[in-house]
Structure 1
């Protein structure tokens, strides 16, 4: 009963965080509100959630990373693939090496291998927190795609570095060659497992649906199981479960382009996944805050390890680590953007310092950092306590919170009035796709009309209905092919029609509900009618 109560309390905190974030007079990212609520729960209630890193990884990370990989536009990610790889791989190694030596220099009592482990867990960025900040501070799409692509890959590279650092701390030895081979197996194996498993499941779904028909609920449940299956299989083979979940999501996006799923399946599945994303993201940060009282309770012992007695030294170390992380990221991003992403011609403008600063502030730490630092072993091979474990956890927690605060303040300042390099317009591409789709519809209507009307007495009815539909599509083609000067009037008329149709749909829905309240219409029939109106409104609002 206590476990159920705790779960319900965490879910209520997630709901409450959204309300509080909107009520506050100043802009506060929702993750910070969730951390504060979690800390309040940890202080007031007598509950303590013991976070098993393996369970934490399995429950929360596969679905979230799968969804990120599924929804990120592949063409945009591949367009900036070199930049993303430089940030996801090169920046992680650069950060681990630089921060490892810096932490060991600041805290000599922390062994170098443990310092590298701490540097590895603070190197991955968290797109969840950046997305929450972006809700109030709009981030250009291209920049957001780079950040999302980076975070999808740097989780795996950071955790692989953590694995090597922990192994070095336990054994006292490190082999660069073995580490490189292990990294290739972990990365390539994870990608192959995730993509391969998703492809097999997709083919199996299509065969079953072709033979027996498609059941929306089963299709949605399969999509929920895929990331967990990919993660577990990859981990069983000692590959990266995180990269497997990401690769599964990317492959799912390619499979969806085949258009085999029913429209109702896509609508319902989107709703389910949106709910899972909102809930899982919120619970992660609430749990992070709930751990704060326990971690701070051992702060005094952690301070003694550093050779000091004042707790304020911990704040000094946390600030120093965050400043160093930002500086390393600034330097790397500066060279990365100059060399790749924004270089289109010899006379193309170089990225200014505000753009680089915005990319640096967007490097927020979050769930991966928390889960990664909790995987540090409790004891060495000889049974003695793992050196500096509690201090590493406390510093990692401080880095997460301070990076969130810095991003919520600094990112809006950097983004204000910032102009990204111009992107080519896709209006012509969209209009051409609409025209081609309308022509395909006309051809299919004509073919189907002949097929259905063949040998029937009421064949004229099929011809008349088909003619009206084809005229509608031809009118759409003619309107889309008008002169550019006429497009402004067409868009104006479309906006007017949209507003009128939305008002009409609202009136229809109101009349249906009125009839239900007055017992003039059954609730089951009302639900069907309201569902139809909701789908129409969603299409218009989109």
Structure 2
């Protein structure tokens, strides 16, 4: 309960602070206060922690990520999410083992694997006051979605190597194909089976909003458990289930009220789980720091300051690798698009630096590192586990601090390559849907008029219903695009003024008890929908 309360307080607290401090850092600080002020400790069971936190978060990322934008920059995203992760695991694994010989090579690879995934939610929190260019954010989201899975699959192999003491590249490659392929197939099949069954039940017996929302919450856990039972990747199953959910929903639409409530529930789940992970990190910090003297003894040094030096060295290594890879990846992308011509601008150093600093480590890194086993197969303690957790926690905090200072400076005034306007596409869609609505209303109006004695009544009602759609078509065909946008803006502004006046008057009627609670709730719901529509 304290952890959830800290998550609630952190959202308001981050906005109240005079300087732009990322919400994750506020959550870590609140968690540390809880850890210092209470005698209670959260005992993190590695497998349970992984199961509770990662499937829903990765599922939601896969579900909500813009698929068109992801496909447009897919080569860049794949280069960052797969190539950079493999380079990070191998390069940083050897570097960490060289720097800290007391940490076995397999454990060093495991640590490198957990610090390879990035966290776009932390980046969004950092850049809240300095907007990130949309295309850059889409690339970061796509990279995070894929590198969460690839980093955690690498972690799985590193832990297996640490437990067995052996590693075969050929066996690992074959195992990877099964783990990845079967994991993704499981996620796709589970989502399709569940959504088809849900649609079948809905067609015959109607839709119940609460159960529909609960089913969507259970899908990532079901996909994860089935994949793990098949010795495949539950992480990839959760991601694939989320991506499939987008396409499954297109053909099997839920009711509008179900979609709205489901979005609200998932927003709350995402905020709570991400927040709890960072609060948990802060809550564990006193114990981690308390054991720093014992942890540093593992490295053969006496001063705890060596741990800080190791953290900074790992952050610097991660930053250097990312900068070189981003620079190379962007130049390769430009060469592919240029096709021999010289009309494509080279990426400036600020863009490369911003992409590099945006590689913030967050929730996935912490969730991954606490899943390191407590003991080896023979019951002995897992080597250097506390040291790995300390270093991972340090990397998270250091990367958040560095990004919160550097990103606003680098992003200020930064422009990405010009994107083609989507206004024409939006206008075409609005006209097409309005025309379809007019045709449907006309057909229904004529059908009603034929069955009743007063056709004028239905003609007048149909005309009123079609007027809104005809205005929409006229606004987008008679005016220039700029005029149409300005009309839309003014229309939205005026409608919001009207909605707020309605709400104020409704509040007066409720206070004077001129209307009952049932009527008040119904009218308030209609005003909420209208305001949400115009704000959106």
Q: Same fold by TM (over 0.5)?
A: yes
Quote the Cα distance in structure 2 between the aligned partners of 1:338 and 1:351: 7
Of 453, 459, 464, which residue of structure 1 is paired with 2:455? 459
1:35 aligns with 2:31: no
> Counterpart of 2:451 in 1: which secondary structure?
coil
Deviation at 1:341, TM superposition (A): 6.6
1:389 aligns with 2:375: no
- Asked whether the 8 Å contact 2:80–2:326 carries over to 1, the reply is yes
Deviation at 1:497, TM superposition (A): 2.9
Quote the Cα distance in structure 2 between the aligned partners of 1:491 and 1:85: 36
Quote the Cα distance in structure 2 between the aligned partners of 1:188 and 1:409: 40
1:112 aligns with 2:105: yes
Partner of 2:506: 512
- Asked whether the 8 Å contact 1:342–1:351 carries over to 2, the reply is no
Quote the Cα distance in structure 2 between the aligned partners of 1:515 and 1:468: 29
Deviation at 1:344, TM superposition (A): 2.7
1:292 aligns with 2:301: no
Deviation at 1:115, TM superposition (A): 1.3
Quote the Cα distance in structure 1 between the aligned partners of 2:264 and 2:232: 31
Deviation at 1:489, TM superposition (A): 3.8
Quote the Cα distance in structure 2 between the aligned partners of 1:221 and 1:452: 39
The 3 A distance-change label for structure 1 pair 163 and 341 is farther
Deviation at 1:343, TM superposition (A): 4.9
Quote the Cα distance in structure 2 between the aligned partners of 1:502 and 1:162: 51
- Asked whether the 8 Å contact 2:77–2:143 carries over to 1, the reply is yes
1:173 aligns with 2:169: no
Partner of 1:16: 9
Partner of 1:528: 522
Of 357, 360, 364, which residue of structure 2 is paired with 1:364? 360
- Asked whether the 8 Å contact 1:498–1:540 carries over to 2, the reply is yes
Partner of 1:75: 68
- Asked whether the 8 Å contact 2:195–2:252 carries over to 1, the reply is no
Q: Map residues 234-313 of structure 1 onto 2, 5 A cutoff.
A: 234-258=227-251, 260-313=253-306
Deviation at 1:471, TM superposition (A): 4.1
Q: Which runs of 5+ in 2 are unaligned?
A: none
Quote the Cα distance in structure 1 between the aligned partners of 2:88 and 2:483: 54
> Counterpart of 1:257 in 2: which secondary structure?
helix
* Larger mean Cα displacement after TM superposition, 83-92 or 283-292: 83-92
Deviation per CA, 1:459-512: give whole Å up to 9, x if none: 22112222333344233212201242xx44443333333222222222222222
Partner of 1:91: 84
TM-score relative to the length of structure 2: 0.96
Deviation at 1:277, TM superposition (A): 1.3
Partner of 2:142: 149
* Larger mean Cα displacement after TM superposition, 199-208 or 400-409: 199-208
Deviation per CA, 1:448-467: give whole Å up to 9, x if none: 12222222112221122223
Q: Map residues 468-507 of structure 1 onto 2, 5 A cutoff.
A: 468-484=464-480, 487-507=481-501
Deviation at 1:527, TM superposition (A): 0.7
Quote the Cα distance in structure 1 between the aligned partners of 2:439 and 2:355: 48
Q: Which runs of 5+ in 1 are unaligned?
A: 1-7
* Larger mean Cα displacement after TM superposition, 24-33 or 444-453: 444-453
Quote the Cα distance in structure 2 between the aligned partners of 1:66 and 1:368: 13
Quote the Cα distance in structure 1 between the aligned partners of 2:334 and 2:403: 23
Quote the Cα distance in structure 2 between the aligned partners of 1:113 and 1:498: 59
Deviation per CA, 1:102-123: give whole Å up to 9, x if none: 1111111222222111111111
Quote the Cα distance in structure 1 between the aligned partners of 2:157 and 2:257: 47
Deviation per CA, 1:136-192: give whole Å up to 9, x if none: 231111111111111111122112222222222222221101111111111111111
Deviation at 1:259, TM superposition (A): 6.2
Partner of 2:533: 539
Partner of 1:315: 308
The 3 A distance-change label for structure 1 pair 166 and 58 is closer
